[in-house]
Chain A
């Protein structure tokens, strides 16, 4: 059985990879809700970013357990690294939603 990186790269079926990319949407929505939670709770500075980190880890744990059934290498190309990484887009989304809810709840009367 060929086990080199090239051979396994050749065996990947693109349609399935595309279907698995719906993970990005899950990460985006979790970033939105984490931002809303951080804003409503009034967290600032490091505690806000700590909530983002905790939310990311919780989301990755759920995806790892429920979707990937403990074997992320089978479903996601980069393995567990790519699973946990929220990506630049979601980090900015978190900051935006966090700022928005912080302002609505705590800054305005």
Chain B
């Protein structure tokens, strides 16, 4: 079979009118998608001071606990902060609605269906999903409609026969090498290959990245549902216990720093004073 030696000759106008336009359109649509996402993102709702204060109190105690093992804070600071936080949590001074009155049970968490702020969060996620999907569908339809039925490009690497049906759609030749492909496969090559260019043009966190689409869609819907709005009263109570645990693991980074410095410069006195 002399098939491998014969190569097809393609009209240069295909290159000018199909190859470059598809790439250009995909780059521009990606940039457009990113800016549409930036414009669509509603500004996060500004929390009132009390709500912010209770979130910040929780964050403060979490940071304290996270860095407790090799803490940069000297013992007096650390113990003072943990004690004041524990007292405040126990008394409920940081709660959004103030400390519970005598004899009154503190209010439970707000129902997500009736609480308007939680609904907006869910809606925002769904909006982003729609914006991501629509341009991809439109471009695929455009390519299938206009650029169908001819060979566009020869891949420099070989592929198995299984890819023939996908990459040579519209060209009914059973014998042609799989390396000659139609425009849809050029679309796929661009789809995967332009992510690096988007990262260069739009910065790291861009919304035109197709490699991040897979991460966003399934996990966002799975993670958002179970947590629900937080019940800060219960969280505060559990933080009191956690702060006690962190007290046990706490060590200060500079606890024996004098000995360490002396040892590094070989000036540590060999004998310790008799106590």
Given contacts A44-B156, A89-B211, contact A6 B69 (CB under 8 A): yes
Does B204 lie within 8 Å of A102, measured CB to CB? no
Stretch of B7-15, B83-91, B98-106, B164-172 that contacts chain A: B7-15
B67 nearest in chain A by CB position: A10
Those of A51-90 within 8 Å (CB) of chain B: 88-90
In angstroms, Cα B261 to Cα A1, docked, is 10
- Do the beta carbons of A96 and B156 come within 8 Å of each other? no
Determine if A24 and B199 form an interchain contact, defined as CB atoms under 8 angstroms apart.
Answer: yes
Q: Does B192 contact A (CB under 8 A)?
A: yes
Residues of chain B from 1 to 23 with CB closer than 8 A to chain A in the complex: 7-10, 12, 14-15, 19, 23
B142 in the interface (beta carbon within 8 A) = no
Answer whether A103 and B154 are a contact pair too, CB < 8 Å, given A89-B199, A92-B193, A108-B10.
yes
Residues of B within 8 A of A2 (CB): 70, 253
Question: Considering residues A1, A2, A21, A93, which has the most beta carbons from chain B within 10 angstroms of its beta carbon?
Answer: A93
In the bound assembly, the distance between CA atoms of A44 and B192 in angstroms comes to 20
Interface pair B200/A25, CB less than 8 Å apart:
yes
Interface string of B191-226 (1 = CB under 8 A from A): 011111101100010000001000000000000000
Q: Which residue of B lies closest to A29 (CB)?
A: B200
Q: Does A19 contact B (CB under 8 A)?
A: no
**Is A34 an interface residue when CB atoms closer than 8 A count as contact?**
no
Contact of A99 among B15, B67, B156 (CB under 8 A): B156
Given A103-B15, A107-B10, A109-B9, A90 and B158 contact (CB-CB distance below 8 Å): no
Assess whether A49 is interfacial by the CB under 8 Å rule. yes
Number of A-B contacts defined by CB within 8 Å: 83
Q: Is A36 an interface position by the 8 A CB rule? A: no
A103 to B20, CA, bound (A): 11
A21-B204, A89-B211 are known contacts. Are A99 and B10 too (CB-CB below 8 A)? no
Residues of chain A contacted by B60 (CB below 8 angstroms): none
Within 8 A of A (CB), among B36-79: 67, 69-70
Return the contact of A102 from the options B9, B15, B154 (Cβ within 8 A): B154
Q: Is B234 an interface residue (CB 8 A)?
A: no
Q: Which residue of B lies closest to A104 (CB)?
A: B15
B residues near A, CB below 8 A?
A: 7-10, 12, 14-15, 19, 23, 67, 69-70, 153-158, 189-190, 192-197, 199-200, 204, 211, 253, 260
Q: List 24 A-B contacts (CB under 8 A).
A: A6-B70, A7-B69, A10-B67, A21-B204, A32-B196, A39-B156, A44-B156, A48-B157, A89-B196, A89-B199, A90-B196, A92-B192, A93-B193, A96-B190, A96-B193, A98-B156, A99-B153, A99-B155, A99-B156, A102-B154, A102-B156, A103-B19, A103-B154, A108-B12
Seed contacts A93-B194, A96-B189, A107-B153; 6 additional CB < 8 Å A-B pairs: A38-B156, A93-B195, A102-B154, A107-B7, A108-B10, A109-B12
